Every structure is written in C-alpha cells, then in structure tokens.
Chains A and B, each alone.
Chain A
C-alpha cells in the first residue's frame, strides 16, 4: 500500500510539471498581454513594466525562473493585475472562502444525493421513486446561473431572509445561497448514480443470499448493499470534491463572495499570468491528490481491489 502511494506521488511530479509548462506556454501564446490597456501606454512605460515583471526575458528563462521560485521558495510571484498583492496573498484570501462553501456544498450534495438515490432504488417505481428522480432531473437541468438569481428573488427580495451577496465567516446567512446554488447539480448526479448502482447491487447474488437467510431489510441495505453500491459514486466524488472546493465562478460572481473561482476566470481574461498559474497549480495538485484518495478508499471499501 505504502509503496503504491509513493509510486503514485512520484508520477504526480512529471504530471504537474507538464501541466505547468503547457499552461505557461498556452497563456503566453494567447493574444494580448497583461499590460495591454485601453489607453495604449507609451513605449518607455511598457518597457519598464516588462522589465519589472520579467517579460523581457526569453520564454524558457521565464519558465525556469518561475519553477525555481515555486519549488525553492514556494513563491508564486506578484500578481500582474492586482499591483499590491502577491499570488500567495490572493489565494490565501480567496481559498478559505471557496473551501468553506465548497465543503458545505459537498456534504449537502452527498447526504441529500445518496439519500435520494437509495430511497428511489428501494422504492422502485413507487411515487417516492418518481419524486426523487423528478427532483434530481429538475436539479440537473437547472443551471446555477439561473438558480442563483431565482434564489435571490425568493430569499432576498421577497422574504428578506438572506443577504443578496457578500461574505462573512461569522454569519452563516451568507453561506446558504452559495451552497444551494453550487450543490444542487452535484446532488442530482450523485442521486442518479446512487440509484442505478443501488438497483444493480440489489439484484446481485449476495443480496439474494442475504434475503434468503432472512436478514432484516434495513440490515441488508445498510450492511450489504450500500457499500458496494457506493463504489461508482465515490469515483465521481473525487473530481467533484476538487471542483467544489475550488469554487465556482458563477457563485463567486453572482454572490460576490470573493472566492478564487472568480479570480481564476478574471486572471485568464486579464492575462494575469501569475495568478492564473498559481490557481492552475493549486487545482492540478488537488485533483491529483484526491484521485489518489479515492483510489485508497476504493481499496478499503471493496475487498476485491488490492494494490
């Protein structure tokens, strides 16, 4: 097991390196640069800017310097757009926000999604099944950029219960709408995967055996059916977890949370090379890490899988 984990971590290094170099090159190929402004800056000013941010160096040298700073000093450099902030600063400020509403969304999506899916599978073809499937399809087809304004209309303008945007770590009222908007479509996917996988498990041999033994229904489902039925759900949860905790640009933009989802998209539009690289590396590392975690959980749940 340990050897397996170490092996996977060793493979992660060239993967990340490829990711970094590819993003770096692609970004510089895109037309327009960080200092392309509506008001064309005079050549002497542009020269000063390029010199300050090292853009006057050849590309290979820029990549080299960048990698060295990241590896040796864990320094992702200054932002090209936010002049008084470093990339570390921006991530340190925005990531806790997205982590908070992302993690809560994950919990919500898993709890509600799995419950819906299991209920639907057990009560197959009953009204409960139709209701659960209906809810999950509805949630799936309702994109969050439609849902966010509807939530605000209901909870802010009509009922005056929740603030229409902004963020506070001390006041949970700011968290509710972002969590609903982000978790709904994941919840729907989890419900669908759980339902179909549960149905498959329920018709498998070992469940029939358990039934034949006369075990109580509750025990059969919780003890014997749920664990194998969750395997496909878990492989979905790994990437879903990463994409939830790194936020959603829609949620960040619509609820002005200050999370890094918006920073990521803005950095691409502003050609803020440094912030974009920083968040790309963060996303890449988390994705690799959680894929590994999922594989470890797999081995723990399913005795058939051994590394």
Chain B
C-alpha cells in the first residue's frame, strides 16, 4: 500500500513537471520546470484601462502585450519578430506598407483575427468620439490623414489604413519614416474585437466580457489589488507557452514592494533608489540593472516668460557644465544609471553617442569653463544670478535638486527649489511658468528620433520654447535620409552647443527578478517582455 502511494506521488510529481517541458521551443532541453508556472509582476500604479486604444502607460503596455497580439513582437534583444504579420511589402516611395497576416490566429471567442480588426482598432484610436489620450500616436506614426481625422475634419474612412482582404492590411503614410515597423510593437496599434466592443461599450474590458487575441486571457481585475491573467488555449502558439498564470500587483511604495518580494509574494520589483548595491550583495543572482530607454534632464525656459539670463546660451552651458553627473549617478542613484551628455539614451538602437566638447572634459575642466562662460555673460559673485528650479514632489527628485543646487553654488548662482504636486507641476511646465524644470522623457520606440523630435519646433512638447531652424531641418531630413544617424549626430551636437536642456542621466531599471524566472529580455532597452517566451524553473 505504502509503495503504491509513493509511486503515485512520484508519478504526480513527474507528471506535473514533465509535459510542458517536452513541448515548448523556448525552454532549453534538460531544464527542470517548476510545477507552478506562475509569474507575479510588480507595477507602481494600477492601470487606468485595459483597452489598447485608451492605454497611455508603460505598465499598461506590459499587460496588453500578454493579452493581445499586434503585427510585431520583439525578441530578447529588442529586434522585431513577426507576430500577426508574417511578411510585408513596402512600396518604392516607402509610403505604403502591405502586411500579410498569420493564418489561424484566433480571438478568444473563436473568431479569426482579420485585417478588418486592425482597421477598426486604428480608426477607433483616431476617432474623436473615442477621445483617446493616445490618438496622437497615429500622427506620430505618420498614418495618412491622422491629424484631420482626429480633429474631426475628415471621416474615419479617410484614415490611411485599409483591409485589402481578410489577411492583407495596407497602411499609407504621410511621410516615409524608417522606424515605422518598430512603432507597431506598441499596444496602441493592436487589433480590438469590433463585435465585443460594440456590444459592451466601455465595459468590454471587464473580465466577464473581454475577448482578446494574445497568449493570455483576463481572469480578474480588482482596482488597487491585482490583475490576473491565465493562459489562453485558443492562442495560435499556445503549445509553446509555458507560464500559465500571471499576476500584476500595484504597489506604490518601492520599500513595501521590496518587502513583499522578500516575503516571496512577488517575482519582480524595482529596487528603491540607492539600495541597489546592498541588494546586489545580498542577492547576486537576482539583482540586475539593465538600461531603460528614458532620459532625465533639467530644461531651461528660454521663452518670453522665462528669465532673461537663460536666453543667453553661455548661462545655459555654464549651468549644464557645472552639474557633476558622476556624483549623481555613483553617489546618489547607485543603480546602473549612466551620466548623460546627450539627450538620446545611450542604448538606443542605431545611436552612437557623438563626441561633444563637454562630454570629453573632466569635471574640473567643465567647472572652470562654466565659471568662464558665466563671467563672460556678466554674472558672478558681484552680480549673482537668481533662479528657480522646479520639480514634482518626490524624495528622489528632491535629492537631485539639492545636489544640483550645491553644484551651482560655487558659480555664485542662488537657486530656489520649488516642488509641486504632480498635476500642478505639469500645468506649470505646459504654461511655461518656471525658470528651470526637471524634465524626463521615455522612448516610444527604439530609435533616436523619439527623443530628438521632442525639441523640434513642431512638437507638442515645447516646454522650454527653444527653437532652432538648423535643428528642425536636420530632423526633417532624417525622416527620408538613407543614413539618419548622421543627422542625429549633428542634432545632438547642436543640442550641446545650444543647451536647451541639461541632460543629467540615462535611466536603468535596477530590479530584483526571482532567479527561477527565465527568459526576461535584459538586452531589450524598451524592456518589452512577453510571458509566452518566459518560464519558471524548479528550485
């Protein structure tokens, strides 16, 4: 009797570990998988929506990547891999893309995924009645007539997206952009199920109503508590999907998230500022700090409402040169961030950091140069410069602002720190009511123009009101140039000469990841991860 029980227990153990192992192509042979294929992921805030056409956040994008599938995915290095688009043709003028869709892809209600689903989703994103915050993504993608359709001046059918037949999608652009296909990884371009959306209206994303086409389906969503996903059997590549249950837990406070991680309740957390070195010592096999495509800067208000002094490029340069970026990165942040002397994040695909005069100096040389420039501009101990530095309330931003205030002190600059609650800070920034403001930017797609376009005269993000015709011309040219990198280099050089903002550091994502979880894409600077490519090994 005893031996039978022992044998059946053994069989159970083997049975629970073995079957997935044999099938999935993502799991190396001989890997011992855990019996529970779960992954619990930390998010800073709860999601505002699970509707791909309404989402605006990175965390939302992460969840939607599991629930839905678009034309392209990314591999562990961030390269495009076909998802629903198995192949594509592009016209000679690079203005028309034709995508051939995957046969056999299904929605979770069994309906086939067709080109019409994409057309419906893209029109819905641009539709003024949808009122999506991210409608401008269609404009960013240069889809034909996007601006006029969003403004309600042209009908939806004029949007440059068409279903040639069920399996063929055609997209027309206004200007050829070399990174168009990269932009299709974003969940704003994902298909949505027309029938379901029309039937349930804004309630279609509730767990009981939702129909999706990704590797996972929505199981539950309790605001402020958790979002749970479960493996979809109707997904075309379900046989190669190993993780079965995903859970997303919103925890605002990083220290508390760390406690929950240490209690074994989370598989992933971001580490609190400054704690990375200690955690790396304590958990060497779990602590990582991959680059993350965001830049941190102080932007100068050079517009009419800004102070006279900041209109002088020598003052802006002096302020930027005097910031000791090494201290900020090595002594304050301590989590794998890099000092920034360019606006574009160093790890952006196809971008090499250009040599600019201040990036090659030592800090002492920069400081000497800063004093010289400021003196030339007519400021110094006898004529001190008074400026205000604005940031949104957060202990991390405060630490940096205090450091910068100290860096500027030797120049005889008297800086008042002003912190505001998030929405007030944003409004002041957008109304140009500041002298110098903390300013961050994260990549929408993995290409330098996602950073550089922000400072063009046609950008909606004209926080500092800096404009430069030569800079504009370069970015216009880059859209059609055979080698846009040359334009990007020149553009960064203009930024170093004109210093509309002082780049401070390039982000990383200092994090802890359970050592049993494999397949997380550390090499992908956008950190787009796909649970269907990941798995959990046995302890």
Contact = CB atoms under 8 A, between A and B. Distances in A.
Interface of A: 30-33, 35-42, 44-45, 47-49, 51-53, 78, 81-86, 90, 93-94, 97, 149, 152-153, 156-157, 160, 163-167, 252-254, 256-259, 262-263, 269-271
Contact of B222 (A30, A32, A149, A167): A167
Contacts of A97: 225
B18 to A, nearest CB: 30
B82 to A, nearest CB: 29
Contacts of A85: 223
B56 interface: yes
Given A48-B150, A164-B260, A256 B202 contact: no
A32 B460 contact: no
* A-B pairs, 8 with minimum CB distance: A32-B423, A258-B225, A83-B49, A52-B131, A44-B151, A258-B224, A48-B131, A32-B427
Contacts of A152: 256, 259, 263
Contacts of B54: 83-84
A30 B256 CA distance: 30
Given A152-B259, A157-B263, A51 B133 contact: no
9 contacts: A40-B460, A42-B136, A42-B139, A52-B131, A160-B263, A163-B265, A164-B263, A257-B224, A263-B223
A149 B259 contact: yes
Residue from B139, B249, B250, B426 whose CB has the most chain A CB atoms within 10 Å: B426
A264 B403 CA distance: 34
B423 A93 contact: no
A84 B423 contact: no
B182 interface: no
Contacts of B240: none
Contact of B133 (A49, A78, A86): A49
Contact of B423 (A39, A51, A271): A271
Contacts of B249: 165-166, 256
Interface residues of B, number: 53
Given A93-B223, A256-B224, A31 B49 contact: no
Contacts of B74: none
Contacts of A160: 263
Nearest to B426: A36
A108 B354 CA distance: 65
Given A257-B224, A263-B223, A37 B460 contact: no
Contact of B424 (A31, A44, A47, A153): A31
A35 B134 CA distance: 11
B460 A42 contact: yes
B508 interface: no
Given A84-B205, A258-B224, A45 B426 contact: no
Nearest to B49: A83
A44 B128 CA distance: 9
A17 B203 CA distance: 30
B202 A157 contact: no
B49 A36 contact: no
B223 A258 contact: yes
Contacts of B424: 31-32
B60 to A, nearest CB: 10
Given A83-B48, A166-B226, A167-B225, A254 B253 contact: yes
Contact of A40 (B130, B139, B461): B461
Contacts of B440: 38
Given A45-B150, A82-B48, A31 B136 contact: no
A254 B256 contact: yes
Residue from A45, A83, A253 whose CB has the most chain B CB atoms within 10 Å: A83
Given A164-B265, A263-B223, A31 B423 contact: yes
B135 interface: yes
Contacts of B223: 82, 85, 90, 93-94, 258, 263
A40 B430 CA distance: 7
Contact of A84 (B51, B222, B251): B51
Given A94-B224, A253-B252, A52 B129 contact: yes
B427 A257 contact: no
Interface string B197-233: 0000011111000000000000000111110000000
Contacts of A81: 48
Interface in B413-428: 421-424, 426-428
A256 B150 contact: no
A130 B51 CA distance: 59
B262 interface: yes
Nearest to A39: B461
A153 B136 CA distance: 46
A15 B133 CA distance: 37
B460 to A, nearest CB: 5
A258 B222 contact: yes
Contacts of A83: 48-49, 51, 54, 202
Contact of B460 (A41, A86, A252): A41
A33 B430 CA distance: 12
Contacts of A165: 249, 251, 256, 260, 265
A254 B202 CA distance: 30
B138 to A, nearest CB: 10
B430 A48 contact: no
B279 to A, nearest CB: 15
B369 interface: no
Given A40-B463, A84-B205, 11 more contacts: A38-B440, A39-B461, A40-B430, A42-B139, A45-B135, A84-B49, A84-B51, A84-B204, A156-B259, A166-B265, A252-B224
B225 A256 contact: yes
Contacts of B135: 45, 48
Nearest to A50: B131
Contacts of A42: 136, 139, 150, 460
Contacts of A253: 252-253
Nearest to B206: A84
Contact of A37 (B51, B130, B133, B250): B133
A51 B48 CA distance: 20
Given A83-B54, A84-B54, A164-B259, A262 B224 contact: yes
